[in-house]
Amino acid sequence: MSAVRAAGPLDVARVRKTIRDLRAKLTEAVSLLGELYDGRAWVALGLPSWEALCAQEAAAAPAGVSAATAKTWTDNAGVQLATVTSLDGRIRPATSTSTPAKPRLTNVARAVLVVREAGDAGITVHEVTRRLKLHHGATSALLSRLAADGRLTYRPPAKRGQTGTYLAP
């Protein structure tokens, strides 16, 4: 890491250059780690495993972070190995060839969909709770926030003691 630090806020050009440099260095670091792993560096050092090598040599130490954080950084930077060598010595593609998992909807999106499906009749907080399989308090807070944000409309009950309904605007 460079000892020289910027005195104030960085300009856009400097930020872009620094990010490019960081990505290049992370790519190089991942490549070097791959070389160590593929070459079974732990054997050359007389260690029992890759994990032992990482623990002894502190592979993420130059950045002052854990190995998990370093992996997250490389993943977020878009650095990806083409292949990996597993502990049994087999070389496999680094990414899965299976179908990607279907993205999960957030509770907010699920709640809005349930209310929209109810149509003009609206839906009570109790019905939404049952459909979403959430805690009543969490559902009530969620619907209240959505109504306050204008994403849903709350229709108060006709009589006292009844439950109001939520509608899609």
Identify the three-state secondary structure at position 123: strand
For tokens 């899965």, name the residue.
96
Q: What is the CA radius of gyration of the chain?
A: 26
pLDDT score of 1: 44
pTM higher than the cut 0.75: no
Tokens coding 48: 């029992």
Question: Domains in the chain, please, with CATH?
Answer: 12-93 (no CATH), 107-167 (1.10.10.10)
Tell me: the pLDDT tens digits for 118-147? 999 999 999 999 999 999 999 999 999 999
Distance (Å, whole) CA 43 – CA 145 = 58
pLDDT score of 106: 87
Pairing type for strands 153-155 and 165-167 reads antiparallel
Tell me: the pLDDT tens digits for 81-125? 677 667 777 777 776 656 666 678 888 999 999 999 999 999 999
